[in-house]
Amino acid sequence: MFEESAKSGNLEAQRQLALCHRDGFGVAQDFEEAIRLLRGIANSGDSDARVELGLVYQERGMGKDSEEAVQLFRAAADEGNAFGTVQLGGCYKHGVGVQKDEKEAVRLFTLAAEEGYAEGQWELGVCYRDGICVQQDWAEAVRLFRLASDAGLWAASVGLGMCYLDGTGVEKCPEEAVLLFKKVSDLGSNDGRVGLGVCLLNGWGIEQNCDEAALLFRAAADDGHGEGQSFLGDCYMNGQGVERNIEEAIRLYTMSAENDGMYAMLQLGLLYMDGFLIEKDVEKAAEMLEKSAALGCKEAMVELGKMCKVGLGVDRTPKKHLIYSKEQHAVKA
């Protein structure tokens, strides 16, 4: 659709064609062609194209692609491009292509947020929510999430919905959470579908409807969404909204775990440890629980604390034992 216009020199058509090649949408995925097209646009002085080119390098992930992406993001940021500023901040936050520096990430997110850029507001809000190089401030996180949500950023709407659901930084109001989740779910957000599904499953802010919850989880799962796969697995495990099917639950947990779903890893770890529904495998249980714990799952840390105490399937080094035991004590408290 874009090829003829792109050949005639239409830069926007070239950009869209490059993104099609990047994503394999309507054409075979071809990073080299995407890079060629975006580099041509970037060389014409288009700052956004520099950022998009950097994102392609990041996705390709070959050799020094991450460092090349950082250079492109920095060039765009230096020109005052908020899109590039946020992407550069993300590199510093996660240590991708540059030495990890969360303080610099916060500085960059702040610059973008002060320009009214929704992605910057969202990222800075996450820093305030999680206390990343700033004093944890839920009220400030909510303020920033609301600004980004009002600008149409789906992730911010879901984040704001979670605040209303839990009553963090704002008065608890599950009904408002449902409205936010539904708004972005209807637009195609998988995070929104999962958030709304959880509310329906539990009757939070809306009448309980397990069948509808399972449908929402399935829509997200079919799109490769890790949490959607995990929650749909729970539905099959417990027979909520679907007929109970242990094999299907385990299949979905496994898919979610492959997508870094920490709760699915937790569930698999517990299943391997118990040995009731699948063959007992202590080493596999420890592997799943350690991966889940590394992603921040406190429940997995508690279970590992128990295993560490007796040296069951895990390393009993004092350091690990102390870390997991402390987390176990904190959760109990």
SS3 annotation, 273-308: HHCCCCCCCHHHHHHHHHHHHHCCCHHHHHHHHHHH
125, 150, 170 - which closes a domain = 170
Alpha-carbon distance of 171 to 9, in angstroms, equals 53
Final residue of a structural domain among 151, 170, 189: 170
In a domain, 49, yes or no: yes
Q: Write down which residue in 130, 153, 170 finishes a domain.
A: 170
Tell me, yes or no, whether 83 and 12 share the same domain: yes
Say yes or no: 37 and 92 in one domain. Answer: yes
- 198-244 pLDDT, tens digit per residue, is 999 999 999 999 999 999 999 999 999 999 999 999 999 999 999 99
24/71 same-domain check = yes
Query: What confidence score (pLDDT) does residue 310 get?
Result: 65
Average pLDDT of the chain to the nearest whole number: 90
Query: Whole domain around residue 3: which residue ranges?
Result: 1-100
**Are residues 124 and 41 part of one domain?**
no
User: What is d(CA 123, CA 117) in angstroms, rounded to the nearest whole number?
Assistant: 10
Rounded (5°) CA angle 200-204-209: 25
pLDDT given for residue 16 in this prediction = 87
Q: Which two tokens stand for residue 114?
A: 């002060």
Integer CA distances (angstroms), 78 to 48, 56, 112, 180, 291, in order: 12, 20, 12, 35, 38
| Residue 152 located in a structural domain | yes
Evaluate if residue 313 carries a pLDDT over 70: no
Number of domains the chain contains: 2
Confidence of residue 63 (pLDDT cuts 50, 70, 90): confident
Residues 126 and 142: their CA atoms lie apart, in Å, by 9
Q: Is residue 32 part of a domain?
A: yes
Q: How many CB atoms lie within 10 A of CB 274?
A: 11
